[in-house]
Amino acid sequence: MPKIKLTPAQEITKRFVQAIDSLVGVRNGERITLLKISEELNMHSSNITRLKTSVTHAPTIDACYLLCKKYGISPSWLLMGTGTMAMEVKELPVDILDKLEEFKEEIKRTILAQSSNHRTPKPSKLKAFR
């Protein structure tokens, strides 16, 4: 029996559902439910369930955009099926990269502050060990 070819909309819907299924569970100590995801995407949870079972329904452009933006899903993967599901660093919005850079600088400052508070023995005390 030949494999049924899906339309582009059906392919996107399939990846959309796959992404949502991969998000449900516990991440970073936070429980993520289908209800929470549906609220974040401005969708009713029954519409997500309908996407899983119907070939005639497709997610809205807004829902696709929010899925990518809020959960780091790669737009290239979602829309075209290329690359990986998770966004690569080069795809991340600039504001996220700026925040990562700020966080890196804050860690450096913290390490420097901690090392300057650490006392080292005075040279005169070190002579006793020679």
| Residue pLDDT, tens place only, 15-71 | 999 999 999 987 777 888 999 999 999 999 899 989 988 878 889 999 999 999 889
Is 128 a residue whose pLDDT tops 60? no
Q: Per-residue pLDDT averaged across 90-107, rounded?
A: 62
More confident residue, 119 or 128: 119
Q: Per-residue pLDDT averaged across 66-93, rounded?
A: 83
Q: Per-residue pLDDT averaged across 3-8, rounded?
A: 84
Is 129 a residue whose pLDDT tops 50? no
Distances (CA, A) of 39 to 45, 47, 67, 109: 8, 11, 11, 38
The pLDDT assigned to 114 comes to 67
- Does domain 8-88 correspond to CATH entry 1.10.240.10? no
The pLDDT assigned to 130 comes to 43
The pLDDT assigned to 44 comes to 92
Q: Per-residue pLDDT averaged across 85-104, rounded?
A: 64
Q: Per-residue pLDDT averaged across 86-109, rounded?
A: 64
The pLDDT assigned to 109 comes to 72
- Cβ 88 vs Cβ 74: under 8 Å: yes
The pLDDT assigned to 38 comes to 93
